[in-house]
Structure 1
Amino acid sequence: MKSLTRLVTLALCAFGSASAQDVLSELFNPLAPFPPVQHQVQEERSPEQRDPNGPWKNDVLIYRTKADGTAEQIGAFTRAGVPTLTRLQDGRLMAAFQSFPADDPRNFDRVAVSFSSDEGSTWTKAEPIAVEGLEEGLMRPFDPTLVTLPDGKVRLYFTSNRHHNFGVSTPQIYSAISQDGVHYTFEPGVRFGIEGRVVIDCAVVLHQGVFHLYSPDNGSTADFHRIQSRQQEPPTGSAYHATSTDGLTFTRVAEVRLDDLRWLGNAQSDGRAITFFGSGRGIATATSADGATWQQTRGFRLAGADPGAAAAKDGGWIIIATGPPAQNQWLAEWTAERQMFDSLFQARDARR
């Protein structure tokens, strides 16, 4: 696994300009104070004008794999990232992702959903979700994770925070529930969080009657600040693990670890075992019978990071992943990391 240090170096080489480097410096320093007055002249500029190399330059790539491991790309969600995928009770596939439409500024950088009735070959037009009853002070949902429940409803797990400064308020995992996958009702309270730790990018799976939640271990707030400012190597291979019988009240249990898998992705259960689709050299995978003990498996050499997946009806998998800008594989992971902060910094921009 390449470190964020190398990824940032590659990103700077790719983006090149001094202005791009300034933007990256801001994005990788979430504990820094608001910029000084000179940035106020950008009040009327769109996010794309402020940062022409933002995550809206990425697409979510859609793949279909066969039982023998071969794969083909069958489509893409343009201007999107950090995807998740689930199969609904009626057999349709449902995808959710952070969406950056070029012609709809009101819904720019919001979670959107799309549906497929033909195993991912065609999809409905992306539609932004609506969450009713979101707690006052919470930033809008980002980094979505979908779980289809036994009663046919869909639960959305997501990251949110009360302040852009992680030293003031660390991000945590929340949830909302829906009948149709588009309109959600916020479920009060925090699903999972650890005081003083940066908890983001969760994956949740219902396996043998137990909900398992995984979130990459990003260390303390201070650790995370040093990682983002390139003063410290990021932790690799480990993730927080929590379990729940109702999907709402989670209990933290022992962390999970695999040295060659980054727990940034999605988990699926076939009733016998859980398969985790994570980030690595391509799409890294691992399996577990109990959600606690894991074995690395072959994975898929596909471009992209932070994948979502669902079992295909004829065997194999439907996989969606954040594609790299300009097909640069190593930039894919950096871009997935960066998108975790887009909503936080856009809220900051609104204050200027």
Structure 2
Amino acid sequence: MNTFSRLALVALCGLAPASAQDFFPELFNPLVPFPPAAPVQQNVRPENGPWNNDVIVYRVRSEGGFEKLSSFERAGVPTLARMADGRLIAAHQHFPENDPASFDKVAIHFSSDEGKTWTPAVVMKLNGLPTGMRFPFDPTLVPLPDGRVRMYFTSLQGRRFDEDLPRIHSAISKDGIEYEFEPGVRFSIEGRSVIDCAVALHQGVFHLFSPDNGEQPKSRGRPSQGPEMRPTDGVGYHATSTDGLNFTRAEDVKVEGRRRWLGNAQSDGKVITFFGSGEGVFTAKSADGRDWQVSTRFPVMGADPGAVAAKDDGWILAVTGPPRNQPQPSLAMDARWLGEWDGELVFFDRLRNFDK
């Protein structure tokens, strides 16, 4: 018998003229379990959930053109990076339909042709994960100067949220598949759920960003079914580190509008570009990681983006797409359609299978 526990979060963008609630009415209230959190039959899952989305990979050119390159089925929360040998590496939450052992694990792919084709999904191997700690989710990949790659991820100790709250941890790898857990916590805030981080190495300093999901209410003596998300538009946590392990919280970062610090950060050595969720996929730029200016809105449908600079021009972008069973709005985009982009976010609880 498995127990489903609500853990947030996946974010999906609504498209104008319909609102987000029109697209996902049953998921609009994140505080109501969907479906009810209760014991269920082995290997039987509800139709709707993060396992019912695909990750879509795009090539976005600097002049604004874009094309779909590939997709990862039944996946979410993607991250992209470039390995020392020039290959692209992708990591994402993995929900294969007929592989229970790999369900809700982090899967890895590689591409040698700039995202057009990818190796089959391989679940990351993690050595040294402390007993009782949740397997990593919501990964972020950061290439290091010595050729290794570090994965920052969300996890927690125990099986109930009145025992622990999610926080950021890390692991390091030489090949992108086998990782060694790095002891300790990279970033946390007392009384708050810290999830879905983005990290960029910029001018010798690691900058970590995470959406502000509000203070966690007291459990009042009852077991908690999941962190209660109260997102604050435009506000994100910010922390810095010189070694990528010991982070110090800095002043919160802010952007205007109904935007979320839910996505990915990349540095070209001069500026950090943040790829965020809200009003489609937006970008904001900063020279120091503190002061930000919104710069671009990409004409792709999805949320929680991962990105990496393409070799010749623009970006390779991966996003969590809409539910597979929802009507798919057309991606034929003209100026009028873009002007009507609604940008409303829906955050819904993720029902997770905690196998013991």
Give the TM-score normalised by the residue count of structure 1: 0.83
Alpha-carbon distance between aligned partners in 2 of 1:108 and 1:316, rounded to the nearest angstrom? 33
Aligned residue for 2:273? 275
Alpha-carbon distance between aligned partners in 2 of 1:285 and 1:331, rounded to the nearest angstrom? 14
Aligned residue for 1:12? 25
Alpha-carbon distance between aligned partners in 2 of 1:232 and 1:133, rounded to the nearest angstrom? 30
Report the CA distance shift for 1:100/1:50 in structure 2 as closer, same or farther (over 3 A). closer
Report the CA distance shift for 1:24/1:57 in structure 2 as closer, same or farther (over 3 A). farther
2:184 aligned counterpart, secondary structure: strand
Q: 1:26 aligns with which of 14, 28, 33?
A: 33
C-alpha distance after superposition, 1:269-294 (max 9, x if no partner): 00000000000121111000011110
1:252 matches 2:249: yes
2:51 aligned counterpart, secondary structure: helix
Unaligned runs of 5+ in 2: 1-12, 330-340
Cα pair 1:152 1:179 within 8 Å, conserved: yes
Alpha-carbon distance between aligned partners in 2 of 1:13 and 1:219, rounded to the nearest angstrom? 23
- Taking CA–CA contacts closer than 8 Å with sequence separation of 6 or more, which of the two structures ends up with the larger relative contact order? 2
Aligned residue for 1:152? 147
Cα pair 1:60 1:81 within 8 Å, conserved: yes
Question: Aligned runs of 1:190-229 on 2, under 5 Å?
Answer: 190-222=185-217
Report the CA distance shift for 1:138/1:330 in structure 2 as closer, same or farther (over 3 A). farther
Aligned residue for 1:324? 322
Aligned residue for 2:338? none
Alpha-carbon distance between aligned partners in 2 of 1:200 and 1:207, rounded to the nearest angstrom? 21
Where is the helix percentage greater, Structure 1 or Structure 2?
Answer: 1
Give the TM-score normalised by the residue count of structure 2: 0.82
State the shift of 1:167 in Å: 3.3
1:312 matches 2:285: no
Q: 1:175 aligns with which of 170, 175, 182?
A: 170
Alpha-carbon distance between aligned partners in 1 of 2:246 and 2:353, rounded to the nearest angstrom? 30
Q: Which of structure 1's runs of 4+ aligned residues deviate more than 4 A?
A: 6-10, 328-333
Q: Which amino acid aligns with 2:80?
A: L
Report the CA distance shift for 1:279/1:239 in structure 2 as closer, same or farther (over 3 A). same
C-alpha distance after superposition, 1:16-45 (max 9, x if no partner): xxxxx9x9832599xxxxx6xxx44x342x
Alpha-carbon distance between aligned partners in 1 of 2:342 and 2:246, rounded to the nearest angstrom? 36
Cα pair 1:322 1:332 within 8 Å, conserved: no
Alpha-carbon distance between aligned partners in 1 of 2:171 and 2:149, rounded to the nearest angstrom? 9
Cα pair 1:204 1:212 within 8 Å, conserved: yes
Unaligned runs of 5+ in 1: 16-20, 30-34
Question: Aligned runs of 1:97-112 on 2, under 5 Å?
Answer: 97-112=92-107
State the shift of 1:53 in Å: 1.5
Instruction: Name which of structure 1's ranges 253-262 and 162-171 shifts more when overlaid on structure 2.
Output: 162-171
Count residues in correspondence: 320
Alpha-carbon distance between aligned partners in 2 of 1:308 and 1:288, rounded to the nearest angstrom? 18
Alpha-carbon distance between aligned partners in 2 of 1:95 and 1:316, rounded to the nearest angstrom? 18
Cα pair 1:85 1:310 within 8 Å, conserved: yes
Alpha-carbon distance between aligned partners in 2 of 1:27 and 1:287, rounded to the nearest angstrom? 37
Alpha-carbon distance between aligned partners in 2 of 1:223 and 1:311, rounded to the nearest angstrom? 43
Q: Which amino acid aligns with 2:210?
A: S
Alpha-carbon distance between aligned partners in 2 of 1:332 and 1:259, rounded to the nearest angstrom? 14
Aligned residue for 2:282? 284
State the shift of 1:8 in Å: 5.8
Cα pair 1:324 1:332 within 8 Å, conserved: no
